[in-house]
A and B are shown apart, each in its own frame.
Chain A
Amino acid sequence: MYIPNFLFALALLFVAHAETSVEEENDENNRYNIEGRIFPLSDYHTTQANWQANTRVHVNGGEYLGFVKRDGSFVVHNLPAGSYVVEVFNPEYTFEPARVEINSKGKFRARKVNHIRTSEVIVVPYPLRMKALGKTRYFQVREQWRITDLLFNPMVMMMVLPLLFIMVLPKMMNDPDTKKEIEQIQNMAKFELPEMSDMVSNFLAGSTMPSEKSEKNQVSASKKNAKTRKRVDK
């Protein structure tokens, strides 16, 4: 649900810019306005027809309010100099809060909210650019019952496999045809699998005489075949 916000990484570059360019002062009683803009996610328009009316801007937990205009911009009016936490609430989307500091000269600085290390300053651009972090997940996904879940359950597998061995294998052993077949399969398997020692020796020999490798392989394979045939005959 958290989309990494590259905006803030970029923001560091704009520190000087933000501090000097955005300076606004109301002549009346030294009251200031916090300005910003909310950037909706691309799927806003499909789900929420008028997200602007459903989105609220709270400063210091609702002490001051801002309403969102059609273009997504907002202004919070009439704030004395101080430090404010700006939060954006929408029933469907989560936004990251920002702290805006207005000094007595009317200079603005916006930074990330960090409650643990309160002195740490990661500057974000001002006027604020509030971007939805993502859709808020209020619900747990219900686990659905699927037959595969049951079958691939380790307990079930542990039960089914021994059952197979107990029930099926003895029957197969009784049947003469299958017996033959098994033997054949085993022969086949042995035929195809080269022996480990051969492989090693081949490898060692192959490093010196790569051209003879295939020949040797064939020889060793035929040797092995002979061995296994003997074994079967026994």
Chain B
Amino acid sequence: MASFQSIMKKYPSLLVILLNFQTLLALYEDQVGKFDWKRSFIGKVKYAHFDASRIIVGTEENIIASLNMKNGNILWRQLMENPKEQQLMLLHSDRDLLSVSGTMNNWFVRTWDHQTGTLLSEWTIFSDKNIPSVFTVEKGTLLHIFPTQNSHLDVVTYNLDGNNQKNTIKIPAPWITDISNCVLSKSYYICISKNDISGQLYYVNILSEKPKVYIKTLHSVLGDTPDLIEILPFEDIFPAFLLSSNGQAKVIHVDEDVVNTKIFKVMPNAVSNHNGEKPFIYQLEPASNPDKLVQIRVKDYATCQDEMATELEYPVGLGAPIIIATATKNTLTDVLLSTTDNAFMLVRLSDGKIMWTREEALSNIIAVEFFELPVSELDASIENEFKASSNSILSMLSHRLNTQAKQLSTLIFGEHPMSSSGLVRDAFGLHKLIVVATSVGKLFAIDTLSGSIVWSYRLPNVKPFSILGEDKILLFAQRTARYAPLPAQCILIANDKYSGNGVIFQFDPITGYSQKGIEKLNYQIAQAIHLPYEDDQHLKPVLMISSTNEVYLYPSCAMGEVYKYTSKLYTYLVDNTGSFKGYSFIHSTKDKLKMTPSWELQLQPAKLVAVKTKHPNERVHSQGRVLPDRSVYYKYVNPNLIAVATVSDDPVHKHVLSVYLIDGVTGLILYATSHKRSRGPIHLVHSENWIVYSYFNERFRRTEFAAAELYEGHVQSNSSVFSSFAVSLLPHVQTQSYILPATPLSVTVTLTERGITNKFLLAGLSGGGVIEIPWLLLQPRLNDIPCSPEESCIPYMPEIPLPSEAVINYNQTIGRIDGIEVAPARLESTSHILVHGIDLFYTKVAPSKTFDMLKEDFDHMMIILVLTGLVISSYLTKYLASKKALKQMWK
């Protein structure tokens, strides 16, 4: 912002132009929440504590938060470092909240205020040992334990009473064979040497003056059992753990020399609860009643008797739960459950009612597709009437009568239930359904108007693809809801968690209904292409290429249709080593598609960081750019263009960023450039005849944007059809680069129905704002042509202004922006925007203002008043004039 100010000082003449430009874009304050919504998430819950009327949680996203117990809303939330590098290790709730988070050898210890989430104190722990370690808080000290296998335990204790005094002890422990066979409970470190009955149990009290290792045989603790034995942690007020074998576990208490085995058996997921009148043990079981899924069994802690079993109103779509925390207040017991699909819920005993559920899977969205809603039944039947399918007069008559009868019935008996649910297409396509796929493999459909979840579907054992270091699941809209009565159809392509082979899931995006369920493929998927051709069922087939370069079609019956186009079909494969290969389908036969290599490009040793093609639905409205002399400079619009960015290490320039524009059909490199001393993160945007990419300039230590625009020249070679083979001249390239005074996390470009509207770049910044930058600001200025406002050209400015009015999410900060998805509305001026990260934010943007719609603040009243006033006054004057004329005549 400040830099914007400084620019304004330097170029006062720009102020006028810019002000004109920017004030057009801002939102009015009364529009807040009218068409945008935000949902906040915290990620999969790892730790939870009850604290008065709040719940304090720590999650796998390295977030700590406080939730309202009544409705599960977030009271405060603190986002700590990037969860890909740092993880939350400990969350201890005492007088203050203590969190430990960090990497393998570097941790932050922070204390927080329960009430507000304000930081109270912060210090760091550093270690040169690169081994996994555990933290615990015991008796006012923080224990940090490094177990070294077959050797010893290093224990570092820190006093938490302010001075953080450090004390290191070393305990010889040659009996640690495997860290997964060890648990930490209170101040005891407990291990088993072997996973069967011949093993030994070792434990040591770390906090005792002279730590002594106690050894017991498992046989003496458990008795005889032939099964494998596992050691599991158990939350208790005494040092305790579980020994589980064959799905049954025993609670074992240790206290110095005494090992006390509780006589009852529990499930391995059991937890204890001591804050009621009587201590209890809770465990989850499959419900005995076939209508319910899960029940909670309560056992008396002292006597080990079954107290009761409560069946939960467990929703069908959720995954298997585990108990995270329990608390008893008066007679009510609250149980917090976390599920395998990242949902988090509060259950209140004894009636087993689910108070609220948070769908935390939505904090990690990896695929988004926007869907148009189906027309109402009535509209659909009217549309059908004009179809050519019914050609005999009689059938047309019967159809007409039928429709009219239906119309009459809806008029009398009200609307069809489908339309009453509100999921019906509106006139401008502003109401859509967003289908999102999350990294845990759960699908959600979200209503754009309200932000509510319409349906959800859990896909078990599904794993995303890893493309250029990012998790991706593919979603393709095979058929939109336009073709009533045929339902819309969408296809999801992912990996199987265990075999690594492809998985297909075909579903109706409007209802979430799947006819076939999950279909497992027997090959790995290397590439999937959504073909633009429709078969007779209006389905757009999807081509899948296996890792062995076999080609498969889905649905396979579309073969005949696809074969017609094989001469025009090309594809490319990229592998992680940086080799780029182009293929054609020329040698396909009527029943088998076959790939033929056509070109190859080796980018090694550079590392591929971004590959971008244009959005398949993008349309280019204007063929050229009109120059001040009224001549046309024609755009080079190549639909087959692939933009590729690589980063390579260089001994002189540290990092070198290279950007290539490659024709996907011929493999011709149309443009290549490199930036020395530049590194990632690279954000590449590819649209119409231009690309924009952002990178970090190491020399000047700033983020820069570079834009490249391709032109054919003053003569257009072929105005109707584009062919990659008809290259006579290379396109002219105009380039320019700019400084971005912020750190972008994600960049994308708006998309409208016909491409008439101006383009805006949307950049999600590290501060949590999404800012719109007009493409006109970035468009390379032509060298020899003066730039004036009349030509809608803004003089070049090195630094891109980022006024706060251009932040589309105003003060609704979005945590860790991950991606921005764009879809056109049927209204040309408007684009749908979904920003996802930890939070979810939806809004609509109109880059050229809503030129095709009356403004919201259009004064209907004024117009009516003026018009009626005019009509009345004209009649009045007519009457008065005639009266006057009569008087005159009598004179």
Given the interface contacts A78-B106, A136-B811, does A52 sit within 8 Å of B118 by beta carbon? yes
> Please, which residues of chain B bring their CB within 8 A of the CB of A94?
1, 804
A64 CA to B81 CA in the complex, in Å?
7
Number of interface residues of A (CB under 8 A): 47
A29–B126 touching, CB < 8 Å:
yes
B116–A50 touching, CB < 8 Å:
yes
Please name the residue on chain A nearest to B123 by beta carbon: A77
Decide if B767 is an interface residue (CB 8 Å cutoff): yes
> Please, which residues of chain A bring their CB within 8 A of the CB of B701?
83, 85, 118
- Which are the 7 A-B pairs with shortest beta-carbon distances? A61-B743, A140-B26, A138-B810, A67-B119, A91-B811, A50-B116, A139-B29
A140 CA to B21 CA in the complex, in Å?
13
B1–A96 touching, CB < 8 Å:
yes
The one of A53, A115, A133, A139 that contacts B118, using a Cβ cutoff of 8 Å: A53
* A–B Cβ pairs within 8 angstroms, 7 of them: A58-B766, A65-B81, A89-B767, A114-B3, A118-B702, A133-B2, A136-B811
Q: Which of A111-159 contact B (CB under 8 A)?
A: 112-116, 118, 133, 136-142, 145
> Please, which residues of chain B bring their CB within 8 A of the CB of A52?
116, 118-119
- From A10-18, A68-76, A102-110, A199-207, the one touching the partner chain is A68-76
> Please, which residues of chain A bring their CB within 8 A of the CB of B32?
139
Decide if A97 is an interface residue (CB 8 Å cutoff): yes
A121 to chain B, nearest CB (A): 14
> Please, which residues of chain B bring their CB within 8 A of the CB of A53?
76, 78, 113, 116-119
Decide if B634 is an interface residue (CB 8 Å cutoff): no
Please report A residues at the B interface, Cβ cutoff 8 Å.
1-2, 28-29, 31, 49-50, 52-53, 56, 58, 60-62, 64-65, 67-70, 75, 77-78, 83, 85, 87, 89, 91-92, 94, 96-97, 112-116, 118, 133, 136-142, 145
0 or 1 for each of B84-96: is its CB under 8 Å from A? (1 = yes): 0000000000000
Q: Supply 12 further A-B pairs (C-beta < 8 A) apart from A91-B813, A138-B26.
A: A50-B116, A50-B118, A78-B126, A94-B1, A112-B2, A115-B3, A116-B3, A118-B701, A136-B804, A137-B805, A142-B857, A145-B862
A89–B798 touching, CB < 8 Å:
no
B2–A113 touching, CB < 8 Å:
yes
A69–B124 touching, CB < 8 Å:
no
B768–A89 touching, CB < 8 Å:
yes
A58–B804 touching, CB < 8 Å:
no
Decide if B429 is an interface residue (CB 8 Å cutoff): no
> Please, which residues of chain B bring their CB within 8 A of the CB of A114?
3, 6
Please name the residue on chain A nearest to B809 by beta carbon: A138
0 or 1 for each of B823-865: is its CB under 8 Å from A? (1 = yes): 0000000000000000000000000000000000101001000
A114 CA to B700 CA in the complex, in Å?
10
Decide if B449 is an interface residue (CB 8 Å cutoff): no
A39 to chain B, nearest CB (A): 16
The one of A87, A97, A138 that contacts B27, using a Cβ cutoff of 8 Å: A138
Q: Which of B20-62 contact A (CB under 8 A)?
A: 23, 26-30, 32
Decide if B134 is an interface residue (CB 8 Å cutoff): no
A21 CA to B799 CA in the complex, in Å?
35
The one of B26, B108, B110, B798 that contacts A139, using a Cβ cutoff of 8 Å: B26
A89 CA to B815 CA in the complex, in Å?
12
Please report B residues at the A interface, Cβ cutoff 8 Å.
1-3, 5-7, 23, 26-30, 32, 76, 78-82, 106, 108, 110, 113, 116-124, 126, 700-703, 739, 741-743, 766-768, 798-799, 804-805, 807, 810-813, 857, 859, 862
A142 CA to B31 CA in the complex, in Å?
10
> Please, which residues of chain B bring their CB within 8 A of the CB of A31?
126
A78–B1 touching, CB < 8 Å:
no
> Please, which residues of chain A bring their CB within 8 A of the CB of B766?
58, 61-62, 87
A140–B702 touching, CB < 8 Å:
no
B28–A78 touching, CB < 8 Å:
no
The one of A29, A67, A70, A138 that contacts B122, using a Cβ cutoff of 8 Å: A67
> Please, which residues of chain A bring their CB within 8 A of the CB of B804?
1, 94, 136-138
A50–B117 touching, CB < 8 Å:
yes
A123 to chain B, nearest CB (A): 16
The one of B106, B126, B739, B743 that contacts A115, using a Cβ cutoff of 8 Å: B739
A139–B799 touching, CB < 8 Å:
no
> Please, which residues of chain B bring their CB within 8 A of the CB of A2?
1-2, 5
A65 CA to B78 CA in the complex, in Å?
11
Given the interface contacts A28-B126, A31-B126, A61-B743, does A92 sit within 8 Å of B6 by beta carbon? no
A133–B743 touching, CB < 8 Å:
no
A115–B700 touching, CB < 8 Å:
yes
A69 CA to B111 CA in the complex, in Å?
10
Given the interface contacts A50-B117, A94-B804, A133-B2, does A77 sit within 8 Å of B26 by beta carbon? no
A118 CA to B703 CA in the complex, in Å?
12
Given the interface contacts A115-B3, A115-B702, A138-B810, does A70 sit within 8 Å of B120 by beta carbon? yes
The one of B28, B81, B113 that contacts A142, using a Cβ cutoff of 8 Å: B28
> Please, which residues of chain B bring their CB within 8 A of the CB of A64?
81
A141 CA to B30 CA in the complex, in Å?
10
Please name the residue on chain A nearest to B7 by beta carbon: A116
B5–A138 touching, CB < 8 Å:
no
A133 CA to B1 CA in the complex, in Å?
10
B101 to chain A, nearest CB (A): 11
Given the interface contacts A65-B80, A70-B118, does A113 sit within 8 Å of B3 by beta carbon? yes
> Please, which residues of chain B bring their CB within 8 A of the CB of A140?
23, 26-28, 805
From B3, B23, B798, name the one whose CB has the most chain A CB atoms within 10 angstroms: B3
Please name the residue on chain B nearest to A69 by beta carbon: B119
A105 CA to B32 CA in the complex, in Å?
50
A139–B5 touching, CB < 8 Å:
no
A160 to chain B, nearest CB (A): 15
A136 CA to B743 CA in the complex, in Å?
19
Given the interface contacts A52-B118, A67-B110, does A138 sit within 8 Å of B2 by beta carbon? no
> Please, which residues of chain B bring their CB within 8 A of the CB of A142?
28-30, 857
Please name the residue on chain B nearest to A135 by beta carbon: B804
> Please, which residues of chain A bring their CB within 8 A of the CB of B78?
53, 67
A66 CA to B722 CA in the complex, in Å?
53
A118 CA to B677 CA in the complex, in Å?
15
A233 CA to B813 CA in the complex, in Å?
83
> Please, which residues of chain A bring their CB within 8 A of the CB of B123?
77
> Please, which residues of chain A bring their CB within 8 A of the CB of B28?
139-142
B363 to chain A, nearest CB (A): 17
B5–A77 touching, CB < 8 Å:
no
A131 to chain B, nearest CB (A): 12
> Please, which residues of chain A bring their CB within 8 A of the CB of B5?
2
B304 to chain A, nearest CB (A): 45
A139–B122 touching, CB < 8 Å:
no
From A28, A58, A77, A140, name the one whose CB has the most chain B CB atoms within 10 angstroms: A140
B27–A139 touching, CB < 8 Å:
yes
A56 CA to B30 CA in the complex, in Å?
27
A92 CA to B769 CA in the complex, in Å?
12
> Please, which residues of chain B bring their CB within 8 A of the CB of A75?
122
From B30, B804, B812, name the one whose CB has the most chain A CB atoms within 10 angstroms: B804
